[in-house]
């Protein structure tokens, strides 16, 4: 796996947050408008490498990975179970 660490470092310097969005949630998150954050869509081009790296270790606390994961609890579970509305879910990601 070849990681473009320079690109990633640049994003970490430029943006307050990097939000990696699983493409299965893409439609729902089309309203996700962020300022000062870089939104990266997983499964698109270079993003796969970044997700791969994020699954290898925590290289920053300014990365949030939004998915419908099945191996651990996720914010999206709250939408599925009615604990959060979609707007509250988006708000939680925005921080």
Partner 1 sequence: MEKLYYEEMIENLAKYELKICGAQVYLFGHCEATLALADLLLDMGVSPVSILDNSAEKQGKDYKGIPVLSPESILKADGKKAMVLIVTRFYEAMNAQLRNLGFKGEIIKLADYNTFAEYSLSEETINRKQQRLEHGKELLNGLKTKYKGAFLVFCPHNALGDICFAMSFLPAFLKSRGYKEYAVFTPSKACADVAVIYGAEYVEVMEQKKLEATIQAVIYTQDESCFIAHHDRPYIVNLHKALYKKLIPLETVYKCGVYGLPKETKPIEPTCWEKYEKLDLIPEGKTVILSPYAKSVAPIDEQIWTDIINDYGSRGYKIYTNVVGNEKPLPRTEGLSAKLNEMRSILERAGTFIGIRSGLCDVVRYAKCKKMAIYPDYNYCDTKWKAIDMYSIDGFENIAVCEGYKWKR
Instruction: Return the half-sphere exposure (C-beta side, CA atoms, 13 A cut-off) of residue 65.
Output: 20
By CB under 8 A, the residues from 36 to 55 that bind partner 1 are: 52-55
Rounded least distance, CB 29 to partner 1, Å: 14
Count of residues engaged in binding partner 1, rule: CB under 8 A:
37
The token pair that represents 1 in the structure block:
């796996």
Q: Is 69 in the site for partner 1 (CB under 8 A)?
A: yes
Phi, psi (deg, nearest 5) at residue 66 = -105, 115
Which residues of the chain form contacts with partner 1 (CB under 8 A)? 3, 5, 8-9, 52-61, 64-66, 69-75, 77-78, 80-84, 88-89, 91-93, 95
């Amino acid at each position: 796996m070849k990681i473009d660490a320079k690109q990633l470092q640049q994003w970490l310097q430029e943006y307050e947050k990097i939000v990696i969005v699983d493409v299965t949630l893409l439609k729902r998150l089309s309203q996700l408008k962020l300022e000062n954050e870089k939104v990266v869509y997983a499964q698109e081009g270079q993003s796969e490498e970044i997700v791969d790296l994020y699954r290898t270790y925590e290289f920053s606390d300014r990365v949030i990975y939004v998915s419908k994961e099945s191996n651990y609890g996720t914010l999206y579970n709250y939408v599925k179970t009615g604990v959060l509305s979609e707007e509250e879910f988006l708000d939680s990601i925005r921080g």
